[in-house]
Amino acid sequence: MKHVFGLAALAAGLAIAPAQAATVSLFCSSAGAEYEMCKTAADAWAKETGNEVKINKMPAAWDEALPLYQQLLSAQSPDADVLLLDVVWIGLLQNHLLDLNEELSKEDIAAHFPSTVEAGTVNGKFVALPWYVDAGLMFYRKDLLEKYGKPVPKTWAELTETAKVIQDGERAAGAKDMWGYAWQGRSYEGLTCDAIEWIGSYNGGTIVDTSGNITIDNPQAAEALKMAAGWVDTISPPGVLNYDEEASRSTFETGNAAFLRNWSYVWGTSQGEGQPLVGKVGVTNLPVGTPEGKSSGCMGTAHLGVSKYSANKEAAVSLVKYMGGVAEQKRRAIEGAYNPTISALYEDADVLKAIPFLKDAQTAFADSASRPSAITGSSYNRVSQAFYTAVHGVLAGEAEADAALKGLAGELETIKQRGKW
């Protein structure tokens, strides 16, 4: 989640002024660049439509915004109009959000990657418009692949072999701290993302399928976890079991890893002025586990939703259409390197100039794997915690993969019965 002929049509009529001016409440991330990009878009829409926008800054840590949303929506507050949503909140908040199927044209919706539309759809209701997309990506040292005469790995087996060759070669040349592969192994949500990618690439499903069935106890999933456990202290440092995004990024960007799994922001940090890896980094979609598998980068999409209790629904929908539309997504891509959810922009020359790796990463965005947050709703946090705890046990050598997944399936069945998803 490619054609360019629809850009003009998509840009037309994005923000039609409502009959009466309104003040729309909008939640924006509080981070510097993100806040300014959001505010600039809101100001432009307000100027175009004659409305006003009241911006609410979200906490720096997005997870802290969720309780605030829940409080406002449970109280059916008319003051919360447009909400910035993490993809894993959509199932939890679905009953409080407006069905945008009734507000947007089929063309508006179809312009976005199908995977991002699916992530914003719960029980047939399209409650969250995709705003920007992220997915797990593979970063690699172009210079080291060239030095050792190796192609970009297409399978996990190829990555494992190539990482070992580079690691051994660099250590022999004096780089004693060199490792082959850095990723996120700490027992937290980031491990859920990594593990879903491994399992998906082995055709092992996504923990819980779209019908609510628990599918994690299967041979393909077990095989994927056995593969990953084999990396620890061979091509990945023992400390990887406590790595999050920043720890793994640091290992890569200091020159101590040949490969890195992370989110697209690493392109900007690794290629910043004065960084040691400028011009040496390549980006591609994640490897596959089997010939029949597909690259399964975990989706990290941000969405925009409208509260069902908004006193300004028409204006709120207009603002969401504007902010999620082609013109604004193009501006955000060029000025802020945010990956669009509109597929046509992946052939836009201005966008590709601003984000050089975007074309290569398109498969990762289009075919990204979703965490089962929509179907599990309010139970998702418990589902994810049970999953990453079980996976971490396998990676740490505390449990065998097959037994761990069987036990996990039983635990998830209990959560399902209590949560009634």
pLDDT digits (tens, 9 = 90+) for 237-287: 999 999 999 999 999 999 999 999 999 888 888 988 899 999 999 999 999
3-state percent breakdown (helix, strand, coil) of the chain, nearest 5:
50, 15, 35
Residue 30 confidence (pLDDT) above 90: no
Nearest partner of 95 among 405, 402, 374, 391, judged by Cα: 374
Give the residue carrying structure tokens 């690439």. Answer: 201
Residue 336 confidence (pLDDT) above 90: no
Q: What pLDDT, on a 0 to 100 scale, did the predictor assign at position 119?
A: 87
**Half-sphere exposure of 293 toward its Cβ, with a 13 Å CA cutoff?**
27
Q: What pLDDT, on a 0 to 100 scale, did the predictor assign at position 122?
A: 87
Paired with 214 in beta bridges are 208
Q: Over the chain, what is the mean pLDDT?
A: 91
Task: Give every strand in the sheet of 179-182, ordered side by side.
Answer: 179-182, 257-262, 137-141, 281-284
pLDDT digits (tens, 9 = 90+) for 346-390: 999 999 998 888 887 777 777 788 899 878 988 998 999 999 999
Residue 75 confidence (pLDDT) above 90: yes
Q: What pLDDT, on a 0 to 100 scale, did the predictor assign at position 389?
A: 98
Residue 26 banded pLDDT, cuts 50, 70, 90 = very high
Q: What pLDDT, on a 0 to 100 scale, did the predictor assign at position 61?
A: 65
Q: Which residue has the higher pLDDT, 9 or 318?
A: 318
Q: What pLDDT, on a 0 to 100 scale, did the predictor assign at position 112?
A: 95
Distance of alpha carbon 261 from alpha carbon 196, whole angstroms = 13
What SS3 state is found at 125? strand
Average pLDDT on 84-104 reads 94
Nearest partner of 205 among 361, 371, 376, judged by Cα: 371
Average pLDDT on 51-59 reads 94
Distance of alpha carbon 387 from alpha carbon 46, whole angstroms = 44
Percent of the chain with pLDDT over 90: 74
Average pLDDT on 69-88 reads 94
